Amino acid sequence: MSEQTLSNLSREERRFEPPADLAADANVKAEAYARAEEDREAFWAAAAERLDWGQKWDQVLDWSDPPFAKWFVGGTINAAVNCVDRHVDAGRGDKVALHWVGEPEDDTRDITYAELKDLVSKAANALTDLGVKKGDRVAIYMPMIPEVVVAMLACARLGAPHTVVFGGFSADALASRLEDCEAHVVITSDGGYRRGAASALKPAVDEAVEKTGDLVRNVLVVRRTGQDVDWHEGRDVWWHDAVDSASAEHEAELHDSEHPLYVMYTSGTTGKPKGILHTTGGYLTGTSFTHWEVFDLKPDTDVYWCTADVGWVTGHSYMVYGPLANGATQVMYEGTPEKGRWWQIVQDYKVTIFYTAPTAIRTFMKQGREIPDGYDMSSLRLLGSVGEPINPEAYVWYREVIGGDRCPVVDTWWQTETGQIMISPLPGVTAGKPGSAMKALPGVGADVVDDEGNSVPDGSGGYLVLTKPWPAMLRTLWGDDQRFKDTYWSRYPKQGFYFAGDGAKKDEDGDLWMLGRVDDVMNVSGHRLSTTEIESALVSHPKVAEAAVVGAADETTGQAVCAFVILRESAGDGGPDIVEELRKHVQKEIGAIAKPRQIMVVPELPKTRSGKIMRRLLKDVAEHREVGDVTTLADSTVMDLIKDKEGSAASSEE
């Protein structure tokens, strides 16, 4: 981050006080900070009491073997029972759990909690018939249809940890995840709808299953689009055959608080994806409480909508587990944000709480305010932002145009690893400051420190760390305790801090501003992607000798993938055709989200004497800046060659 960026941030003078009526009736008041500070464990125990437990815990937190935490030790709980059954048992079965909106017009379903309970019980019975037992892993590769929520909850009910893989990922990406967690069953669909057309999913599953030998026993397939699919007798099973005919009676077992709930894969700085493990009791406590706290949820009157795909952690924590545990009524939409469609949904369903990513907000800004101005969004009372830091202008536009200049914006910071929101304004307490996530929530410890781990003074920048264990924290990396310790806990061993991998600064008031990743992980549209994985995909192409990838600032997606490649001599000197071929190759290997915005064919890459690629110099080129210090390069003339190439670079836009 340049000094100019830091000083600009600190000059943000705009403040938005909480609306008086919201502040008066807020779920969490200012006193919560002091209460949590006084006794953190009692604070989190009270949050856990909001859930239904079988056996009460003996110990709130066991931190005797850091960094391996155990929360609510000795307690037993079932996530699906807390998300569904308990609301039905309390007489709220007629309440709508999901207003589902398909991408094709007029394709909608309203599912009550009673109906959801029956569907989850049937799916649990169907999975049991397929041989799924407690502890078995199940992979889910689906579009945003109600069955994906049912599948997740059915797995949770059985105690079979699920791993949901984003439906835009390639067969190779899916195969590597199936192999890592040894999933014997995959739940998918024939396809889904995206941008008005049926998009196939099953072919990628078939290809992934083939790559994993005889690992996968069954593929359970939802019929969504009706498109033709290849069928493997004895392995493939139609959802409507297996689930619809199953019994709606299912006795749920209570699982240990620390029983694995799911594994979610996230990009690492080495090519192998990292399987983040979340367990049951602490995760459900953290997500349900923060959902109620940060969004000031009133379950009887609010209609909540989180636009995230379930393939990402936001969809797990704030579309499935948190909201359903709280008995919320929510909207779930299958498609992409086509012009006006989201605002039509807000108007039709009278959405009151809306949670989306800065990327989407910037896209709508680009389209112009006349589109949202054509809809009645007066039902909205609270807006949220997630996925990456929101720039102040997008924040103000979001508040004014979407929120009618009356809705507080909660700019939330958290990660796949944290499981729950960690840093955010409290809507009834905190004055909004455009672009700042403000401060750690009650019960959460966060700080900005220097290289030695000392807290930096207000007005200074450094590294964001988490200083205390929290309920929804990741427990380890699946099958790799050492990598878990090395990745998150090795930077500040003396202090025992969790290192988030993000830069941050404190402004003059001590409020926190997130400055993005400090390692080689890019944040594209709120999705963390590894430079190493994309470089590996490029080098797997027969014409490429070497590749380096950087994330360059992009006003729509936050960061965009920019690649620099050295071609093999046999490939010629690389015109627009090879660039397009390589972009498509990355899409095939990893998925469209990783497709480079720009590929520059270069004669050489900037390397240190030890052979490390100096990505910061490439970032300077990608962002059209003056190239920084080149004294550590083995050959300082390399950057001149690259800059010469830049003038005639073949690049193409999505």
Q: What is the CATH number of the domain that holds 568?
A: 3.30.300.30
Q: Is the peptide bond before 67 cis (omega within 30 degrees of 0)?
A: yes
Q: What is the CATH classification number for the domain harbouring 200?
A: 3.40.50.12780
Instruction: Tell me whether residue 389 is annotated as binding.
Output: yes
Instruction: Tell me whether residue 517 is annotated as binding.
Output: yes
pTM of structure: 0.84
Instruction: Indicate whether 631 pLDDT > 60.
Output: no
Average pLDDT over residues 257-271: 83
Q: Is residue 32 domain-resident? A: no
Instruction: Tell me whether residue 195 is annotated as binding.
Output: yes
Instruction: Tell me whether residue 109 is annotated as binding.
Output: no
CA atoms within 13 A on the CB side of 606: 25
User: How many other β-carbons are positioned within 10 Å of the β-carbon of residue 517?
Assistant: 18
Q: Is residue 477 domain-resident? A: no
Instruction: Indicate whether 230 pLDDT > 50.
Output: yes
Instruction: Tell me whether residue 196 is annotated as binding.
Output: yes
Instruction: Tell me whether residue 315 is annotated as binding.
Output: no
Give the model's pLDDT for residue 99. Answer: 98
Average pLDDT over residues 393-416: 95
Give the model's pLDDT for residue 646. Answer: 58
What does the block give as tokens for 190?
Answer: 């024939």
Q: How confident is the model at residue 639 (pLDDT cuts 50, 70, 90)?
A: confident
Give the model's pLDDT for residue 576. Answer: 83
Angle between helix 40-48 and helix 281-294 axes, rounded to 10 deg: 90
- Return the biggest CA–CA distance within the chain: 74
Instruction: Tell me whether residue 197 is annotated as binding.
Output: yes
Instruction: Tell me whether residue 224 is annotated as binding.
Output: no
Give the percent of the chain with pLDDT over 70. 92
Average pLDDT over residues 416-443: 96
Average pLDDT over residues 521-550: 79
- Measured in degrees and rounded to the nearest 5, phi and psi for residue 504 equal -155, 165
Q: Is residue 122 domain-resident? A: yes
What does the block give as tokens for 363?
Answer: 């896209």
Count of structural domains, the chain: 2
Q: How confident is the model at residue 169 (pLDDT cuts 50, 70, 90)?
A: confident
Give the model's pLDDT for residue 520. Answer: 62
Give the model's pLDDT for residue 649. Answer: 46
* pLDDT tens sequence across 588-600: 888 888 899 999 9
Q: How confident is the model at residue 615 (pLDDT cuts 50, 70, 90)?
A: confident
* The domain boundary residue, chosen from 303, 336, 369: 336
* The domain boundary residue, chosen from 336, 362, 379: 336
* pLDDT tens sequence across 491-534: 999 999 999 888 888 999 999 998 777 766 677 887 767 677 78
Instruction: Tell me whether residue 541 is annotated as binding.
Output: yes
Give the model's pLDDT for residue 10. Answer: 43
What CA–CA distance (Å, rounded) separates 338 from 193? 12
Instruction: Tell me whether residue 387 is annotated as binding.
Output: yes
Instruction: Indicate whether 162 pLDDT > 60.
Output: yes
Instruction: Tell me whether residue 267 is annotated as binding.
Output: no
Cβ(333)–Cβ(144) below 8 Å: yes
Give the model's pLDDT for residue 554. Answer: 87
Of 494, 540, 499, nearest to 521 by C-alpha is 499
What does the block give as tokens for 533?
Answer: 């994985």
Give the mean pLDDT of the chain.
90
Instruction: Tell me whether residue 539 is annotated as binding.
Output: yes
What CA–CA distance (Å, rounded) separates 448 from 549? 28
Better-predicted residue by pLDDT, 607 or 167: 167
Q: Is residue 259 domain-resident? A: yes
Looking up tokens 């030695």 gives: 452
Of 7, 14, 9, 4, nearest to 409 by C-alpha is 14
* The domain boundary residue, chosen from 336, 363, 383: 336
Instruction: Tell me whether residue 412 is annotated as binding.
Output: yes
Give the model's pLDDT for residue 611. Answer: 53
Q: Is residue 432 domain-resident? A: no
Average pLDDT over residues 90-106: 95
Q: Is residue 197 domain-resident? A: yes
Residue 263 is part of which domain span? 39-336
Instruction: Indicate whether 9 pLDDT > 50.
Output: no
Give the model's pLDDT for residue 2. Answer: 33
Q: Is residue 179 domain-resident? A: yes
Q: Is residue 384 domain-resident? A: no
Instruction: Tell me whether residue 544 is annotated as binding.
Output: yes
